[in-house]
Chains A and B, each alone.
Chain A
Amino acid sequence: MKHILKIIWNQKRNYYWIFMEQVLVTIILMLSAVSVLESYKKYKTPGMLNVENTFVVGYLSGNSATQEEMGNSLKSMNILLENMKKLPYVKTITRGFNLAPYQRDNELYASQVPSDSIRIDDKRFMAIYKFSDEFGASVLNVEMEEGTWFENRALPDGSLPVVITRQFASKAGWTTSVGKKIPFGSRFFTVTGVAAGLKQVPFEPSPIAIVIPSFAMGGMPFENMVKIETGMEREFIEAFSKEFQRLIPYESMEPFLNYMPSLKSMWTSQSVLSVILQGIPTLFLFIFAFIGTFGLYWMMSQKRMKEYALRIALGSTKSKLIGIVIGESLLITCMAILPALALSLFIYEYNAVHVIAVSITIFVMLLFAIVSAWYPAWKVSRVNPAEALQYE
Chain B
Amino acid sequence: MIKIENITKIFRTKEVETTALDRINLQVAQGEFVSIMGPSGCGKSTLLNIMGLLDQPTEGALLINDTAVSGMKDKQLAHFRNQTLGFIFQSFHLIPALNVFDNVELPMLYGKNISTKEQRQRVLEVLEKVELSHRLKHFPTQLSGGQCQRVAIARALVSKPEVILADEPTGNLDSKMGIEILELLLTLNKEGTTIVMVTHDERIAQQTHRIVRLLDGKIQ
Contact = CB atoms under 8 A, between A and B. Distances in A.
B10 interface: no
Interface in B33-85: 45-46, 49, 52, 54-55, 74-75, 78-79, 81-83
Given A313-B81, A313-B87, A390-B45, A306 B93 contact: yes
A83 B110 CA distance: 90
B78 to A, nearest CB: 5
Interface of A: 3, 6-7, 10-11, 306-307, 310-318, 320, 384-386, 389-392
* Most chain B Cβ neighbours within 10 Å, of A315, A318, A389, A391: A315
10 contacts: A10-B139, A311-B110, A312-B81, A313-B52, A314-B110, A317-B75, A385-B49, A385-B54, A386-B46, A392-B91
Nearest to A12: B97
Contact of A314 (B81, B91, B97, B99): B81
B192 interface: no
What DSSP secondary structure best describes chain A's contact surface? helix
Given A312-B54, A317-B75, A391-B45, 15 more contacts: A3-B102, A6-B98, A10-B139, A310-B95, A313-B52, A313-B54, A313-B87, A315-B107, A315-B111, A315-B159, A385-B55, A390-B45, A391-B90, A391-B171, A392-B91
B217 to A, nearest CB: 16
Pick the 7 closest A-B CB pairs, nearest first: A315-B82, A315-B110, A386-B55, A386-B49, A10-B97, A385-B54, A317-B78
A391 B54 contact: no
Interface size class of B (residues with CB under 8 A): 20 to 34
Interface in B104-160: 106-107, 109-111, 139, 155, 159
Given A314-B81, A317-B74, A391-B168, A3 B109 contact: yes
A307 B49 contact: no
Given A386-B49, A389-B89, A391-B90, A314 B82 contact: yes
A312 B78 contact: yes
Nearest to A310: B93
Contacts of A386: 46, 49, 54-55
> Which of A307, A311, A386 gathers the greatest number of chain B CB atoms within 10 Å?
A386
A391 B91 contact: yes
Contacts of A3: 102, 109
A116 to B, nearest CB: 70
Question: Which has the most chain B C-beta neighbours within 10 Å: A7, A11, A320, A391?
Answer: A391
A3 B89 CA distance: 23
Contacts of A392: 91
B178 to A, nearest CB: 15
